[in-house]
Amino acid sequence: MEQAIKTIISNYPFNENYDYIGHYAIDSGHINDTFVVEFEDKLGEIHSYLLQKINTNVFKNPVQLMENILGVTDFLCKKIAQQDGDTNRECLNVIRTKNGEPFFYCEKYGHWRCYNYISNSYAIDFISAPEVFMNAAKAFGKFQNMLADFPIETLYDTIPNFHNTLSRYNDFIKAVELNLSGRLDTCLPEVEFAKARKDDAGVLVNLLEKGRLPLRVTHNDTKLNNVMFDKATHESICVVDLDTVMPGLSLYDFGDSIRFGANTAAEDEKDLSKVSLDLKLFEFYVRGYLSEAGSSLTEREINYLPFSAKLMTYECGMRFLTDYLNGDTYFRVHYPEHNLIRCRTQFALVADIEEKFDEMKAIVAAEKARIK
């Protein structure tokens, strides 16, 4: 890998001003391989950048992928600059190659891109206090709000039907029928759980098709660890991992945030008794999100916030189960049953959300009244 990194960075303008020191891997994502590369300038100051190999098994058209990212990051940087913000810390910036391209490609090493590295920051996987979750909610709410007037027609749908839960359900049924991994007998209760909630799969898709929900520019992967926090102030700084930015529903973003952040257990917790929806965390997230995005959301979008949490959790569980049945071809796994464990955790959370649904609706109603 050392030689690959040196070859890749030689195609970027770093060596005009810096000496390469080294690199280290960041093992936090399911999809792409990510490294921090470090350089030293003539005064001995260290400069870091994020180097990432694009997984073209998932993102099959890297040109369209990077056009989406460039469009959104350039738009956000202009908005941030207009507000006298710090564009180097509050937004990702794509570093272009010496040839002015948004990524480097060669047959031997594949597709690689480079971003600014947000220094003195950190990401988190678990909530230490409800206020932390609220800060993350503000980051995603602000992200949604700043992109309210983005020219959505310029975005590519880089992963068709990414959060089309009805399409995900059909993929799941196909995986059950084909049973490519031969694992079907090991997950029959999970298969029945998913089938029993088929009617939920098409709810938001149908509302979109009928024009009752607006199409928006959405992040589509709003896990807590896709927000960077400042080490000094612990405030949210920047939303990262923009691979799935494309047209979608604001409810996809909100629901996925709750799925990941308000769960009392890890995404791959084996002890399902630890899995539940933390209503206090849900309330804090609703408050933070609506404080930033509420003015740009329709009343129907706000009313469907609780349902979106259930739907995105259900969809994610189906995706893990589908990949398990297909032989683990999409998500990175660390042991053979990893995707099945992830699926079980998601489905346990769905069941708990169903029990607490009325309380969630009451929380949203109270917060909606607060922002009026």
What's the pLDDT at 125?
81
What does the DSSP 8-state code read for residue 96? Answer: P
Strands 33-40 and 104-106: unpaired
User: Across the chain, which distance is largest between two alpha carbons, in Å?
Assistant: 64
What's the pLDDT at 42?
85
Asked whether 277 and 346 are in contact (CB, 8 A), the reply is no
Task: Please name which of 147, 161, 273 lies closest in space to residue 218, comparing C-alpha atoms.
Answer: 147
What's the pLDDT at 364?
98
Give domain 130-371's CATH architecture.
Answer: Alpha-Beta Complex (3.90)
Neighbour tally for 315: CB within 10 Å? 29
What's the pLDDT at 347?
98
**pLDDT class of 160 with cuts at 50, 70, 90:** confident
Give the residue extent of every domain in the chain.
2-119, 130-371
* Residue for token pair 């739907």: 311
Calculate the alpha carbon distances from 8 to 20, 92, 176, 276 in Å: 12, 20, 41, 44
Q: What is the mean pLDDT of residues 242-260?
A: 95
pLDDT top residue among 322 and 160: 322
* Residue for token pair 């992928």: 65
Lowest mean pLDDT among 13-17, 51-55, 227-231: 13-17
**Residue 342: both structure tokens together:** 């992830």
Neighbour tally for 67: CB within 10 Å? 16
**Residue 143: both structure tokens together:** 């992200």
Calculate the alpha carbon distances from 174 to 235, 301, 322, 357 in Å: 44, 31, 9, 30
For residue 357, the one-letter residue type is F
Q: What is the mean pLDDT of residues 281-295?
A: 96
What's the pLDDT at 28?
55
Task: Please name which of 94, 28, 24, 91 lies closest in space to residue 62, comparing C-alpha atoms.
Answer: 94
201-240 pLDDT per residue, tens: 999 999 999 999 999 999 998 988 899 999 999 999 999 9
What's the pLDDT at 128?
87
Share of the chain above pLDDT 70, in %: 98
Q: What is the mean pLDDT of residues 195-204?
A: 98
What's the pLDDT at 31?
67
Q: What is the mean pLDDT of residues 7-25?
A: 86
Task: Please name which of 210, 221, 280 lies closest in space to residue 248, comparing C-alpha atoms.
Answer: 221
Asked whether 285 and 261 are in contact (CB, 8 A), the reply is yes
Q: Give the integer Cα–Cα distance in Å for 207 and 243.
A: 25
| CA angle at 58 for the pair 179 and 62, rounded to the nearest 5° | 160
pLDDT for residue 30 is more than 60: no
pLDDT for residue 69 is more than 90: yes
80-95 pLDDT per residue, tens: 999 999 999 999 999 9
Burial group, residue 251, by CB count within 10 angstroms (0-12, 13-18, 19+): buried
| CA angle at 39 for the pair 38 and 43, rounded to the nearest 5° | 140
What's the pLDDT at 208?
96
Number of residues assigned to the chain:
372
329-369 pLDDT per residue, tens: 988 899 999 999 999 999 999 999 999 999 999 999 999 98
CA–centroid distance for 340 within its chain? 20
Alpha helix (H) residue ranges in 83-187: 130-146, 165-178
Give domain 2-119's CATH architecture.
Answer: 2-Layer Sandwich (3.30)
What's the pLDDT at 156?
95
Neighbour tally for 118: CB within 10 Å? 23
Strand partners, 174: none
What does the DSSP 8-state code read for residue 5? Answer: H
CA–centroid distance for 173 within its chain? 25
Q: What is the mean pLDDT of residues 32-42?
A: 87
**pLDDT class of 21 with cuts at 50, 70, 90:** confident
Q: Which residues of 143-169 are buried (b: 16+ CB within 10 A; e: fewer)?
A: bbbbbeebebeebbebbeebbbbbbbb
Asked whether 222 and 248 are in contact (CB, 8 A), the reply is no
CA–centroid distance for 168 within its chain? 17
- Reduce the secondary structure of 265-323 to three states and give it as a string: CCCCCCCHHHCCECHHHHHHHHHHHHHHHHHHCCHHHHHCHHHHHHHHHHHHHHHHHHH
pLDDT top residue among 2 and 324: 324
